[in-house]
């Protein structure tokens, strides 16, 4: 063993509510920073250069598949062995299990670091190999500049993967505040570096280098914070058995990573190749807003995998299933309205945000927001499957989703252009999400009616409330930026208040929110 610290294993976990907020903070801060920086970056780079940068980032993301999914599932294995170690401390299992659990965690973390090294090596080679042909494909950019962009994207991806391994021990122990403070600071670093280089007159390559530097600084920040919390996190030379155990489970999870890349990255590649970088740039801008709305909605499930895994380790399947419908209803009550509002206010939002709506930007934003609706309602099901040790269920659904998305977008885009891309994405994401629900319910013997009870009323309410906003969109079609901003704010206030009152009276919102609503909004709950 390289190092080991017993006290870290037996410490008490932070509450699910606190961990949920902590897990969501870096993502939400990142989206806020991205939202604020996008107009400045777009003005400094131009839509075409912005689209090229988005494309290089998407290509680099595909190389993360080479880690066999280890980074995604590392937290689950840490959480499982930490829970077993805590049971040993309380005398439920033999006391030797605590040290054995720590050894296992150290081995799993070592495998995580090894996977990062493998991906980095491959990415570096691909960056030099792909630079010249991509420069020839898009013209207007030299081979050296394209190679530099790919190397910067490689650095960003590699530092992100390294951060994920660095914080895995704390996240698995459900002590999520400190590592997510570090991740939030990293998001702010990206914002400062990207805005700073543009304000100093930097162009595309300088912008890429600044972002790569932010990624490196983020690793330093994360290491500092994590080591202050746990000075000697467990780290052991991995045995073949442990490596096989983690990789075997992770390979099944890799289907989810593939699906995520296809659903969130491949559309940019398809659009750039078939239509042009400018359209890919417009897609990237709109997708940032849609993903931010999705992130706000799914924050309730951000801490569920380690938490439900720990619950399952000390409980029964029936207890896990009993919580499924309730948690799905709570998650959907927050996820769906965010995306419905994003779709409805799309034209006004883009005009207020960027000063003008990129061509087809509003259509892209509305379509992607709709596409993510069904996906967000299945987050609890994903966490439940992992807690039960059934990664094959979301994996099968992910594979089906990815194949459908590729087939539909590649088949429809050459014929129908952007409309073909969007149609393929909406259909694939929606059908794939429902397929996962069907598989999970069948395995756990839960009727499909439970899913519809948890989601359908929220879907209907969220959709009905968008009616006045759509009317406002039409009335403000030629509004100035300031008027569009006012209309956006008014639409958001109307929607938020109306939804909170109606959903609160139905008792559909989480208790933490219900306690903070005015009394009239919860009178019938």
- Per-residue pLDDT tens for 136-145? 877 778 888 8
96 confidence band (pLDDT: 50, 70, 90): very low
* Helix extents (H) in 63-142: 70-89, 96-138
Considering the domain architecture, whether residues 301 and 233 belong to the same structural domain is answered as no
Cα 103 to chain centroid, rounded: 30
Check whether residue 60 and residue 175 sit in a common domain: yes
* Mean pLDDT on 171-192: 84
Eight-class DSSP state of 356? S
Q: Is the pLDDT of residue 37 over 50?
A: yes
H-helix or E-strand spanning residue 478: none
Do both 388 and 435 map to the same domain?
Answer: yes
> What residues have CB less than 8 Å from 47, skipping those under 6 apart?
278, 281, 282, 358
Whole-number average pLDDT of the chain: 79
Q: What is residue 92's predicted lDDT score, i.e. its pLDDT?
A: 46
Mean pLDDT to the nearest integer, 379-398: 81
Contacts of 289 (CB under 8 A, 6+ apart): 35, 342, 346, 349, 350, 353, 365
Residue 359 has pLDDT above 90, yes or no: no
Q: Output the CA torsion 123→127→133→137 (10° steps).
A: 90
Residue 458 shares a structural domain with residue 403: yes
Does residue 481 or residue 244 have the better pLDDT?
481
pLDDT of res. 299:
64
Where in the sequence is the domain holding 495, given as residue range(s)? 254-507
pLDDT at 463: 94
**pLDDT score for 438:** 93
**Nearest Cα to Cα of residue 102 among 204, 252, 20, 1:** 1
Q: SS3 of 64, please?
A: helix
The band of 370, judged by pLDDT with boundaries at 50, 70 and 90, is very high
Q: Which residue has the higher pLDDT, 169 or 69?
A: 169
- 326-349 pLDDT per residue, tens: 888 888 888 899 999 999 999 999
266-287: buried (b, 16+ CB within 10 Å) or exposed (e) per residue? bbbbbbbebbebbbbbbbbbbb
Same domain, 370 and 473: yes
Categorize the per-residue pLDDT at 95 as very low, low, confident or very high, splitting at 50, 70 and 90. very low
Angle at 392 between CA 27 and CA 437, to 5 degrees: 70
Q: Measured in Å, how far apart are the chain's first and last C-alpha atoms?
A: 55
Q: Inform me whether the pLDDT recorded for 516 exceeds 60.
A: no
pTM of the model as a whole: 0.65
pLDDT number for residue 11: 43
Q: What is the pLDDT of residue 8?
A: 38
**Do residue 350 and residue 418 come from a single domain?**
yes
- Residue 368's pLDDT is what? 92
Residue 519 falls inside a structural domain: no
pLDDT of residue 126 exceeding 60? yes
Q: Are residues 315 and 205 in the same domain?
A: no
Residue 188 pLDDT: 92
Q: Mind listing the pLDDT tens digit for each residue in 1-26?
A: 333 333 333 344 555 556 666 667 78
More confident site: 91 or 396: 396
Claim to verify: residue 317 and residue 464 sit in the same structural domain: yes
- Please check whether residue 134 is in contact with residue 51, taking contact to mean a CB–CB distance below 8 angstroms: no
Within a 13 Å sphere around the CA of 290, how many CA atoms are in the beta-carbon half?
A: 28
Per-residue pLDDT, 143: 87
Please check the confidence at residue 154 and state whether its pLDDT lies above 90: no
Based on the structure, what is the number of domains in the chain?
2
Q: Does residue 4 sit within a domain? A: no
Given pLDDT bands bounded at 50, 70 and 90, which one contains residue 193?
very high
143 is a domain residue: yes
For residues 328 and 438, state if they share a domain.
yes
Residues above pLDDT 70, as percent of the chain: 79
Give the residue-averaged pLDDT of 454-474. 91
Note whether 183 and 220 are same-domain residues. yes
Domain co-membership, 234 together with 258: no
Residue 2 lies in a domain: no
Question: Which span out of 82-91, 230-239, 392-401 was modeled with the highest average pLDDT?
Answer: 392-401
| 3-class SS of residue 3 | strand
Residues 6+ apart with CB under 8 A from 201: none
- Mean pLDDT, rounded, for 308-327: 72
How confident is residue 385, by pLDDT bands cut at 50, 70 and 90? confident
């Amino acid at each position: 063993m390289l190092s080991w610290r017993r006290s870290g294993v037996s410490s008490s976990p932070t509450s699910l509510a606190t961990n949920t907020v902590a897990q969501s903070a870096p993502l939400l801060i990142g989206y806020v920073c991205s939202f604020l920086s996008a107009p400045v970056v777009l003005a400094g780079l131009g839509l075409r250069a912005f689209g090229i940068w988005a494309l290089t980032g998407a290509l680099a993301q595909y190389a993360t598949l080479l880690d066999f999914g280890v980074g995604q599932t590392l937290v689950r294995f840490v959480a499982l062995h930490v829970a077993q170690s805590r049971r040993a401390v309380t005398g439920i299992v033999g006391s030797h299990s605590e040290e054995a659990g720590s050894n296992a965690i150290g081995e799993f973390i070592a495998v995580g670091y090894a996977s990062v090294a493998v991906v980095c090596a491959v990415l570096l080679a691909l960056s030099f190999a792909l630079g010249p042909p991509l420069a020839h494909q898009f013209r207007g950019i030299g081979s050296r500049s394209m190679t530099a962009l790919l190397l910067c994207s490689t650095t960003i991806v590699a530092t992100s993967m390294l951060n994920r391994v660095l914080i895995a021990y704390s996240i698995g122990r459900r002590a999520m505040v400190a590592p997510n403070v570090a991740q939030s600071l990293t998001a702010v670093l990206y914002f400062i570096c990207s805005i700073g280089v543009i304000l100093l007159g930097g162009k595309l390559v300088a912008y890429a280098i600044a972002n790569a530097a932010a990624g490196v600084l983020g690793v330093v920040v994360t290491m500092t914070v994590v080591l202050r919390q746990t000075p000697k996190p467990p780290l052991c030379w991995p045995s073949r058995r442990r490596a096989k155990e983690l990789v075997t489970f992770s390979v099944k999870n890799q289907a989810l990573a593939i699906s995520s890349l296809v659903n969130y990255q491949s559309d940019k590649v398809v659009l750039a190749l078939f239509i042009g970088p400018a359209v890919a740039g417009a897609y990237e801008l709109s997708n940032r807003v849609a993903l931010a709305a999705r992130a706000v909605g799914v924050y309730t499930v951000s801490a569920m995998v380690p938490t439900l895994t720990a619950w399952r380790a000390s409980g029964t399947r029936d207890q896990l299933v009993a919580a499924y419908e309730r948690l799905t209803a709570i998650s959907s009550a927050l996820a769906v309205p965010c995306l419905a509002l994003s779709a409805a206010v799309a034209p006004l939002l883009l005009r207020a945000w960027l000063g003008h709506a990129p061509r087809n930007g509003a259509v892209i934003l509305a379509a992607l927001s709709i596409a993510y609706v069904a996906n967000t309602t299945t987050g609890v099901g994903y966490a439940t499957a992992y807690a039960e040790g059934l990664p094959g269920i979301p994996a099968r659904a992910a594979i089906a989703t990815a194949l459908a998305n590729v087939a539909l977008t590649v088949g429809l885009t050459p014929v129908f252009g952007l409309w073909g891309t969007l149609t393929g994405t909406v259909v694939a994401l929606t059908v794939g999400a429902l397929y996962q629900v069907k598989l999970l319910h069948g395995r756990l013997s839960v009727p499909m009616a439970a899913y519809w009870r948890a989601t359908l009323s929220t879907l209907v309410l969220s959709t009905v409330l968008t009616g006045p906003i759509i009317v406002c969109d039409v009335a403000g079609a030629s509004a100035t930026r300031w008027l569009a901003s006012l209309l956006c704010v008014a639409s958001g206030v109307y929607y938020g208040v109306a939804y909170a009152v109606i959903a609160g009276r139905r008792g559909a919102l989480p208790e933490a929110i219900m306690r903070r609503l005015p009394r009239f909004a919860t009178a019938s709950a």
